[in-house]
A and B are shown apart, each in its own frame.
Chain A
Amino acid sequence: MHLNRIFGLYTVAFIVVTVLIGIAEAIFGLSKQWIGWIFMALSMGIYVLIGIITRTSDADQYYVAGRGVPAVYNGMATGSDWMSAASFISMGGALSAQGFGGLAYVMGWTGGYLLLAVFLGPYLRQYGKYTIPDFLGARYEGNTPRVIGVVAAILASFTYLIAQVTGVGLIVSRFIGLDFNVGCFVGLVGVLFCSVLGGMKSVTWTQVAQYIILITSYLVPVVVLSFKLFAVPVPQVMYGQLLQSNNVKAFQITADPQEKATRALWAAESKALAEKMKDPAVSDADKDKAKAAKTAADKQATAPAAEGAKLEKYLTVPEGRGMWNFLALTFCLMVGTAGLPHILTRYYTTPSVRQARTSVGWSLFFIFLLYFTAPAYASFARDAVFTGLVGSQVSQLPSWVTLWAPAGLFSVVDKLGDGVVQFADFVVKSTDFVVLATPEIAGLPFVITGLVMAGGLAAALSTADGLLLTIANAVSHDLYYNVINPRASLLRRLTITKIFLIATAVIAAWVATARLAIIVEMVAWAFSLGAAAFFPALVMGIWWKRANRPGAIAGMLAGLGTTLFYMVGSRFFGLSWFGTNTVASGVFGIPLGFITIWIVSLLTKPPPLELQNFVSELRFPKTGGAAAETTHIGAAGAAT
């Protein structure tokens, strides 16, 4: 009750504040920059405040929030822990560009929760310690499996963390006009306040607060847009009609003579650039530029539908190698979802196995609300381009285009010079505009755009919190306390965790400011890495008593090694197995991990009887690692 009241009040307060800012905008003409500042300051202020209120120096509280997080709230926390800047800002756009192929992300990032629910979640809760390497160390007797776990956890989490910090930097620079680097360090402060003082306890309750902002701000713009177009505020159902009208429009665009002429100009440009790339007199730097320009021109020269087909490319299901990659990517993302340590640790924090089971359901439900809506976002934005932008005069562009053009996400080039916008004139540099510009497309005041900013910030910060804590715990709890100095006092352990939290965050922010292009690409790799390293060893450890230490070590190394080998090989050295894309590298390592554990375990001695009993006990719930009294947000967990 206590928690419901707090978060209920918080939600109401949040809505009231948004409305007040809206009124201030309408009546006093509050400037866009001010609205951005207010949203950022208020939301960050709340997170920092929660961080301070929930500070703790109790080990159970610090590592697993006292195992007192009720299923529903753990579900919300997992939801925002899971949904990153990429899910919030980029997914709708990625779907609009990739069509059916992009749905691998939608199915992959949700279907993994079923694997988590039936294979791992309840059993990890029954085991009831602090980290995922903890489980590997206990189940597979010793420090080697634990250390491999630590390395894999850091490998999978660190690039992912950098991407979140980059996300914060981008949002802050786009909305408030602060320098990108300053934005990264703003993110750093937000993340540290929420994690250093209270560890998992602070992170959990901040994530719940962040989820509420995240989901509200994601749903509002597209619900309003749906209401405007169809008088029904359910975009998730109404976009079916847009799929049809967009499909018709795509064929019109393909056949239109003006569009054809525009595409021909782009194709000619692409050809000229190809010639330039062959010219030995051109410097390497200029060749790279020409290559990028050629890729862009090729995209513009492509028609949205194939003549004579029934469905436009957006709805067309890939075949052959395309289908293989679609299925392989879906598989890697699913298994990765069930293998990423920052999500798995969340199921240590529920009071019981029963609640762990329910909690996975709530987690997916809260994630579902966003992912179920993302394809609708894509269709509504395509409709805005197809019916609002295409065919309009270059001198009279729709307001969302003029507002967002300066941000550099897209541009309108009048290729034919006829003063009319062709579809091929719309050059998209970042599909992020799909989510960012929807409030403007729906004709909503800027306050809603500010709300979306706060949502994106919440998504990036909440994921960063969870990742940061996972990395710091892997180093301080698993490496330092369990391997190097098992006699360290609690105070010393917590101090070291805090030092590592700060150090990791600073390094992540520093790397983010370098703006390496490869980071965005590497985020998707984390899923294959986590999947291949953890999933086979965890599942076999719970489901097969005969799995032993040599098997697990060999399996984790083989899975992780193969995945890394294929990743680096296919990305940089032209390696190709069955034409598989780099992003789906785990499709080889995951099965290999299982097979290796099986064969090596059978070839070596079975684990001792105590361990086999340990596995039996995992299967019958009786709440290992007793729950503390239900945690409250009140000072240091004081019970009421």
Chain B
Amino acid sequence: MANLTTEQKESYWRYNVKLTTVLLVIWFVVTYLLGGLFAGALNEIVVLGFPLGYYIAAQGSLAIFVIEIAMYAKLMNAKDLEYGIREEG
């Protein structure tokens, strides 16, 4: 591993914490608000036959989770390279 200075370590970790927070906020809003508390209201909107609230809980949220994890892996792996963190594996 490249020897990171304390400052570099801190900024790497801050980036990670920020990314994690953003992803968790999206996760929370999608699951508990859109797919939960407000699903009843969203059901008024119908797309392709799907009441929207039902759709988010049944399929939309899952797709968003997949995209979120893919984004996390992509961004963190890129960040590693940017900081010269290369694993032997």
Contact residue among A110, A316, A352, A364 (Cβ-Cβ distance under 8 Å from B89): A352
Q: Which of the 9-residue segments A44-52, A201-209, A582-590, A616-624 touches chain B? A: A616-624
Q: Judging by beta carbons under 8 Å apart, are A357 and B77 in contact?
A: yes
- Please name all residues of chain B whose beta carbon is closer than 8 Å to the beta carbon of A327 when the two chains form the complex: 32, 36-37
- Chain B's interface size range is 35 or more
Mostly helix, strand, loop or mixed at chain B's interface? helix
B56–chain A nearest beta-carbon distance, Å: 9
For residue B4, CB closer than 8 A to chain A, the reply is yes
Contact residue among A236, A311, A357, A623 (Cβ-Cβ distance under 8 Å from B88): A623
- Please name all residues of chain A whose beta carbon is closer than 8 Å to the beta carbon of B48 when the two chains form the complex: 237, 240-241
- Please name all residues of chain B whose beta carbon is closer than 8 Å to the beta carbon of A106 when the two chains form the complex: 57-58, 62
- Please name all residues of chain A whose beta carbon is closer than 8 Å to the beta carbon of B7 when the two chains form the complex: none
Contact residue among B20, B43, B49, B73 (Cβ-Cβ distance under 8 Å from A360): B73
For residue B11, CB closer than 8 A to chain A, the reply is no
A320–chain B nearest beta-carbon distance, Å: 11
Q: Judging by beta carbons under 8 Å apart, are A372 and B12 in contact?
A: no
Q: Judging by beta carbons under 8 Å apart, are B35 and A352 in contact?
A: no
Q: Judging by beta carbons under 8 Å apart, are A243 and B76 in contact?
A: no
Q: Judging by beta carbons under 8 Å apart, are B16 and A360 in contact?
A: no
Q: Which residue of A lies closest to B21 (CB)?
A: A118
- State the CA gap A353–B85 with chains docked (Å): 11
- Please name all residues of chain A whose beta carbon is closer than 8 Å to the beta carbon of B62 when the two chains form the complex: 106-107, 110-111, 368, 371-372
- Please name all residues of chain A whose beta carbon is closer than 8 Å to the beta carbon of B49 when the two chains form the complex: 239-244
- State the CA gap A242–B69 with chains docked (Å): 31
Q: A243-B51, A361-B70 are in contact. Are A623 and B89 (CB under 8 A)?
A: yes
Q: Judging by beta carbons under 8 Å apart, are B54 and A620 in contact?
A: no
Q: Can you identify 26 A-B contacts, CB atoms within 8 angstroms?
A: A67-B89, A103-B35, A106-B57, A107-B62, A110-B65, A114-B24, A117-B69, A119-B20, A237-B48, A242-B49, A243-B49, A243-B54, A315-B43, A315-B51, A330-B32, A334-B31, A354-B80, A360-B69, A361-B69, A364-B65, A368-B66, A616-B9, A620-B12, A620-B85, A622-B87, A626-B88
Residues of A within 8 A of B (CB): 67, 100, 103, 106-107, 110-111, 113-115, 117-119, 122, 236-237, 239-244, 311, 315-317, 319, 323, 326-327, 330-331, 334, 351-355, 357-358, 360-361, 364-365, 368, 371-372, 375, 616, 619-623, 626-627
